[in-house]
Amino acid sequence: MKSRPKREYYASLVAAALLGAFALVPYGQKKWRAHAMSQRLDAIEATERAGACHGEPLSPNVALRLERLAPLLASWGAIGGCGAGGTGGAGVGVKWIGRNTTGGLFQMITQANYVHFNNAYNLILTEQITRDLGSKWSFGVLVPYLHKRYNDYLGLPTDISNSGVGDVNALLTRRFGRINSTSLTAAVGFPTGTHDARYKGDRLTQEKQLGLRRFTGSLMLDHTLDQSWGVIVLGGLAAYRGGTNELGNYRAPTGSLYAFAGYFLGPFVPSFGVSFTGFTGPDRDRGIEQDVPLTLVAGNASLEWSTDWIAIMAGVSVPYALTGVTQDTEAVTPTKVTGFQPWVAAFGISVSPF
């Protein structure tokens, strides 16, 4: 008599699973129809492009679609994010995904990221200049300026700051697809940021430095899905953050996966996204492991406004650490390595001059 309730329990689970599957049928049909329509449009577009090569004009529908999407599928934005030039990187952060600026000899993006800590803050100002080399390639440079301030240094009533140019990055982007909907960006960081700053003879810990005095590198892959209501960006980022320098300071490699969605509201594009970031191990300061998160999930929100020649973005990123490493629980200012991490606020301006 005790087995009957168990059978009824399993029967209830099966029934619930079947009902859930039936409930997802309309959603699946909608996604399948959207996928089929996208394939049809791509096929039509390929045909029209082939005709255009022979002097035949594009059809009005396809021409309108390309005009609407071309600024979006250029895969643009500040590559370094809040990790450029010495902060070490805490994932993807705030990302540009709205309408790009068009025309001009080059594109210039100025972005300020404010990283808030309990007793400190970092202000990272990046200047990124890129130039298209045809429709498939672009080359650029990113120069970060860092200001890192820490209150009550070592538990004393003393505030310190470290400011200057961080690690300069060279960028190279290759776009793929008939409408450049996929892009791969490689970045190489040069050791231009100071790595051995001191306060009264005491060398600052590595996260307070402006650089590592080591070359860094990253690869970012973006894919854009256009929708009737806006745009979806899917991608991943893998970064080598310099390894170990001669002082025994170490920054672990990291990888991120992310998804963003932006909605068209006239010249405005509000967007929301989520990213997941993992580190291969804890960072070390002069050989000693630091209190650091190892896996992070971050929620991101931003609002962009743009014309053909200028775009403005404001956004925020709130990371949450799932796992981390704590070495010294009796520190004067202990680091919280799980739970909510320092939030990031960003403001950027993009222009395409001349």
Residue that wins the pLDDT comparison between 354 and 56: 354
Answer whether residue 81 shows pLDDT above 80: no
Domain boundary among 67, 89, 122: 67
Same domain, 84 and 39: no
Residue that wins the pLDDT comparison between 33 and 265: 265
Domain boundary among 67, 84, 114: 67
Same domain, 27 and 106: no
Same domain, 206 and 268: yes
d(C-alpha 258, C-alpha 299), whole Å: 10
302-316: average pLDDT: 90
Same domain, 18 and 109: no
Q: Which amino acid is at 256?
A: S
Same domain, 246 and 229: yes
- Residues 296, 341 contacting (CB under 8 angstroms): yes
| pLDDT tens profile 119-135 | 899 999 999 999 989 88
Band (96; pLDDT cuts 50, 70, 90): confident
Structural domains in the chain (count): 2
User: What DSSP string runs through 11-59?
Assistant: HHHHHHHHHHHHHHHHHHHHHHHHHHHHHHHHHHHHHHHHHHHTTPPPP
Same domain, 57 and 190: no
Same domain, 239 and 171: yes
> What is the average pLDDT value for the chain, to the nearest integer?
79
Number of Cβ within a 10 Å radius of residue 347: 15
Residue that wins the pLDDT comparison between 47 and 149: 149
Q: Which amino acid is at 225?
A: L
Domain holding 282: CATH number?
2.40.160.40
233-247: average pLDDT: 93
pTM: predicted TM-score of the whole model, two decimal places:
0.76
| pLDDT tens profile 314-353 | 999 999 999 988 765 454 445 567 899 999 999 999 888 8
| Domain carrying residue 60 | 3-67
Band (6; pLDDT cuts 50, 70, 90): low
Same domain, 208 and 285: yes
d(C-alpha 17, C-alpha 4), whole Å: 20
Band (5; pLDDT cuts 50, 70, 90): low
pLDDT given for residue 78 in this prediction: 46
40-69: average pLDDT: 48
pLDDT given for residue 219 in this prediction: 93
Answer whether residue 153 shows pLDDT above 50: yes
Same domain, 288 and 311: yes
Answer whether residue 186 shows pLDDT above 70: yes
Same domain, 324 and 206: yes
Domain boundary among 67, 90, 115: 67
pLDDT given for residue 4 in this prediction: 46
> What percent of the chain has a predicted confidence (pLDDT) above 70?
71
